[in-house]
Amino acid sequence: SAVISQKPSRDICQRGTSLTIQCQVDSQVTMMFWYRQQPGQSLTLIATANQGSEATYESGFVIDKFPISRPNLTFSTLTVSNMSPEDSSIYLCSVSSGNTIYFGEGSWLTVV
Amino acid sequence: DAKTTQPTSMDCAEGRAANLPCNHSTISGNEYVYWYRQIHSQGPQYIIHGLKNNETNEMASLIITEDRKSSTLILPHATLRDTAVYYCIVRVDTNAGKSTFGDGTTLTVKP
């Protein structure tokens, strides 16, 4: 199994600012994933982060808005840049371990 | 990844079995069926997965039809704590991390 810690768990942010979310895993993993869950909606994959290479973004998400770092096999960050109220969401970090995917508890962001 | 169809919501009496259906008629031969649930205010939790055989673990049972076009997640004795959104996902296991989540089924367990 894998235990995932995300920081911050919650935050209220001013529009126009940027916030970096951290994801720490208790074991080394090859692939890490970032998801967004808007209020009342399902999960949407933002990007896949592999150590040593640039993140791969899904359609509708761009690096300038959601820059991702993956400095080692246990850590990743997602930055939400130039935030607007539409960015108010839960941001979830996820990893694969064996045949199973594990999720962090999410970072709840409210943009005002 | 194949698309899945699930009912929007279901109710179940506490102590009874909850049977959650999922249609995945376009599933490919190398795609697995995975089930996750998301309890309010928490991250999604893995429940079970299977390819073609029925599977059982401490949380649930997974019944996959012979043609693999549909499956049913069974919670044998539902409790109030099982109230959650349940997601059925199909994907190739080698790409296990990248998943397409549908809208899921909101299961409400009632006393």
Q: Do B43 and A105 touch (CB under 8 A)?
A: yes
Cβ–Cβ contacts within 10 Å for residue B60, how many? 19
**Distance between A17 CA and the closest CA of chain B, angstroms:** 25
pLDDT tens digits along A14-43: 999 999 999 999 999 988 999 999 998 999
Closest CA to B24 of B62, B56, B58: B62
CA distance B86 to B105: 5
Of B46, B98, B100, the CB nearest to A102: B46
Q: Is B42 on the interface with A (CB under 8 A)?
A: yes
In terms of Cβ atoms closer than 10 Å to its own Cβ (0-12, 13-18, 19+), residue A107 is: buried
Which residues in chain A come in under a pLDDT of 70? none
Q: Is B40 on the interface with A (CB under 8 A)?
A: no
Tokens (6 digits) for B95: 């790409």
Of B96, B101, B103, the CB nearest to A99: B96
What is the pLDDT at residue B97?
A: 63
Alpha carbon separation from B40 to B13, B45, B77, B107, B108 (Å, rounded)? 19, 11, 20, 12, 12
What is the pLDDT at residue B94?
A: 61
**What does DSSP assign to residue A28?**
-
Q: Do B97 and A44 touch (CB under 8 A)?
A: no
Tokens (6 digits) for A28: 């080394």
Closest CA to B105 of B36, B7, B30, B34: B7
Q: How high is the mean pLDDT in each 10-residue block of chain B (111 residues)?
A: 88 97 92 92 91 94 96 97 95 70 94 95
What is the pLDDT at residue B1?
A: 62
Q: Is B44 on the interface with A (CB under 8 A)?
A: yes
Q: Which chain A residues contact residue B35 at CB under 8 A?
A: none
Q: Which chain A residues contact residue B104 at CB under 8 A?
A: 42
Q: Which chain A residues contact residue B102 at CB under 8 A?
A: 42
CA distance A67 to A46: 10
What is the pLDDT at residue B95?
A: 58
Q: Is B39 on the interface with A (CB under 8 A)?
A: no
Q: Which chain A residues contact residue B34 at CB under 8 A?
A: 101
Tokens (6 digits) for B48: 């079970």
Q: Which chain B residues contact residue A104 at CB under 8 A?
A: 43
Cβ–Cβ contacts within 10 Å for residue A57, how many? 17
